[in-house]
């Protein structure tokens, strides 16, 4: 094992001790050797003449290595050669996550950044997407724009439909333990802008237009088009660095499997899966198996007329089953009582990464949730479990008293 943790360069000089914790009752002794601090020189390997990289944020928020900080007080001057010019800043924010570059930003409603550069053609990389602030407020706007040398290069609008499409774009997404959370969600969350600009007056101007959070400017990277290959290498390094910080901050903890080793019958082998039931108050995770002797049992429940009774059916595939369809038939009870199939709703339970420790969380866990409700009859509200992560797996509305 070779773990690595990022340490802010500004605080490395005041480190007096490193403390390691393995819990009160570790399962086995832990031996460590060759503990050391190593200087991160990866930026020096991708830096080149003509590169400008700016990290926008507050005066106290972290700055990504290799970037120059731009705060509300970083005003343009001839001596500095860069800075904010005619910028109307609505707010400076630090959302504390997901990484040092994108977690902090300036909400610029007009004006922007000026950089003194030799005349020529430049490529500009800009992020104006918000990480949704510390409390999770989602970025919304009616219209926003990015201008280069006074001309629009990016114009975007948002209405209710486009907002809902973006807000719910992951609602039916299954999270697998083999997937990288950063690559799956962070890369899809931020849509950086990339465009070319011709400079003829010795100064590159990048201006922003939008109300409130519309232009949440966190990063601007500039380099000559003639050095596009070096610039793209630097941008790949930036993405890798962001992933590094994200993966160190959000530690994934996978579910410990519950159940016993599978002992499929000949019938199970023929149909390709093992079916089992579990009390609906007990979650079924992606890697769970049935306890010994708990397979082949019927689904059963009790309720009065008009009540909902949830039942859980789990399948452990023995091979790739492809698309699976669950069809419910009529249920019969004592005395000929019957619940017709139309009164039974099948709810599909997917698995999603969930935050475990609140707003300053450092753990992501895979926990089941319902992502799709199919042919649900008469369900007026969604039922959440105690931890607000998963919805009940299945339910049926009983029109007559039956068990």
Q: Looking at 221, 249, 277, which one is the last position of a domain?
A: 249
CB count within 10 Å of CB 335 equals 8
User: Given 205, 224, 249, which residue is the final one in a domain?
Assistant: 249
Q: Are residues 159 and 242 both part of a single domain?
A: yes
What CA–CA distance (Å, rounded) separates 55 from 62? Answer: 9
357 within a domain of the structure (yes/no)? yes
**Nearest-angstrom CA–CA distance, 316 and 275:** 6
Cα distances (angstroms) measured from residue 47 to each of 1, 23, 229, 232, 234 = 30, 42, 12, 11, 7
**Among candidates 176, 192, 194, which has minimal Cα distance to 184?**
176
Q: Is the dihedral of CA 105, 106, 107, 110 positive or negative?
A: negative
Tokens of 197: 């600009």
Any domain includes 9: no
Task: Report pTM.
Answer: 0.76
Identify whether residues 281 and 170 lie together within a single domain.
no
Q: Same domain for 161 and 245?
A: yes
Is residue 348 within 8 A of residue 317, CB to CB? The reply is no
> Among the three residues 190, 219, 249, which one is the final residue of a domain in this structure?
249
Shared-domain flag, residues 222 and 271: no
Q: Give the pLDDT score at 12.
A: 59
> Does residue 401 lie within any of the structural domains?
no
pLDDT recorded at residue 226:
97
Same domain, 272 and 206: no
403 domain-assigned: no
Pair 337, 402: CB distance under 8 Å: yes
Task: Using CB atoms within 10 Å of the CB of residue 31, give its burial: 0 to 12 exposed, 13 to 18 middle, 19+ buried.
Answer: exposed
Q: Is residue 32 situated within a structural domain?
A: no
| H or E element at residue 268 | helix 266-271
- Counting the structural domains of the chain, the total is 2
Does 169 share its domain with 203?
A: yes
pLDDT at residue 75 in the model: 97
Residue 306: domain span: 266-396
Tell me: do 238 and 272 sit in the same domain: no
CATH number where 48 lies? 2.60.120.430
User: Maximum CA pair distance of the chain?
Assistant: 92
Residue 398, number of CB atoms within 10 A of its CB = 22
- Residues 309 and 224 grouped into a single domain: no
In a domain, 36, yes or no: no
Same domain, 241 and 347: no
pLDDT in tens, the chain (403 residues): 445 555 554 455 667 777 777 778 888 888 888 877 777 888 999 999 999 999 999 999 999 999 999 999 999 999 999 999 999 999 999 998 889 999 999 999 999 999 999 999 999 999 999 998 666 678 899 999 999 999 999 999 999 999 988 888 888 788 888 888 899 888 888 999 999 999 999 999 999 999 999 999 999 999 999 999 999 999 999 999 999 999 888 877 888 888 999 999 999 999 999 988 888 888 888 889 998 888 888 877 788 877 888 888 888 999 888 888 888 888 887 788 888 888 887 777 777 777 665 433 333 444 444 333 333 333 333 333 333 233 233 333 333 323 2
Residue 31, domain member (yes or no):
no
Tokens representing 223? 């380099």
Residues 235 and 272 reside in one and the same domain: no
Do residues 203 and 69 both lie within one domain?
Answer: yes
In a domain, 184, yes or no: yes
């Amino acid at each position: 094992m070779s773990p690595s943790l990022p340490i802010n360069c500004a605080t490395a000089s005041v480190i007096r001790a490193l403390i390691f914790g393995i819990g009160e009752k570790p399962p086995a002794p832990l031996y460590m050797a060759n503990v050391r601090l190593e200087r991160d020189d990866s930026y020096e390997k991708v830096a080149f003449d003509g590169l400008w990289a700016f990290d926008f944020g507050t005066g106290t928020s972290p700055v990504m290595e290799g970037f120059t900080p731009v705060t509300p007080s970083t005003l343009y001057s001839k001596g500095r050669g860069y800075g904010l010019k005619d910028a109307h800043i609505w707010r400076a924010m630090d959302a504390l996550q997901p990484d040092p570059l994108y977690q902090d930003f300036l909400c610029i409603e007009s004006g922007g950044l000026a950089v003194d550069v030799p005349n020529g053609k430049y490529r500009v990389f800009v992020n104006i997407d918000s990480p949704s602030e510390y409390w999770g407020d989602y970025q919304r706007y009616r219209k926003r724009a990015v201008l280069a040398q006074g001309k629009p290069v990016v114009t975007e609008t948002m209405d209710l439909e486009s907002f809902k499409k973006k807000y719910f774009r992951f609602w039916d997404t299954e999270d697998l333990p083999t997937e990288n959370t950063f690559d799956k969600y962070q890369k899809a969350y931020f849509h950086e802008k990339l465009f070319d600009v011709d400079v003829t007056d010795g100064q590159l101007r990048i201006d922003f237009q939008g109300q409130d959070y519309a232009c949440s400017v966190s990063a601007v990277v500039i380099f000559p088009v003639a050095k596009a290959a070096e610039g793209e290498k630097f941008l790949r390094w930036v993405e890798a660095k962001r992933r590094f910080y994200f993966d160190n901050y959000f530690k994934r903890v996978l579910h410990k499997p519950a159940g016993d080793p599978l002992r499929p019958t000949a019938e199970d082998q023929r149909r390709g899966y093992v079916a089992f039931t579990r009390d609906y108050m007990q979650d079924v995770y992606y890697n769970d198996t049935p306890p010994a002797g708990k397979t082949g049992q019927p689904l059963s429940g009790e309720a009065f007329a008009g009540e909902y009774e949830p039942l859980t059916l789990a399948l452990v595939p023995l091979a790739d089953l492809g698309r699976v369809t669950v069809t419910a038939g009529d249920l019969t009870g004592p005395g000929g009582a019957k619940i017709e199939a139309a009164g039974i709703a099948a709810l599909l339970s997917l698995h999603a990464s969930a935050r475990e420790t609140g707003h300053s969380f450092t753990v992501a866990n895979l926990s089941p949730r319902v992502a799709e409700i199919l042919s649900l009859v008469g369900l007026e509200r969604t039922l959440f479990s105690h931890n607000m992560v998963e919805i009940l797996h299945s339910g049926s509305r009983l029109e007559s008293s039956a068990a």
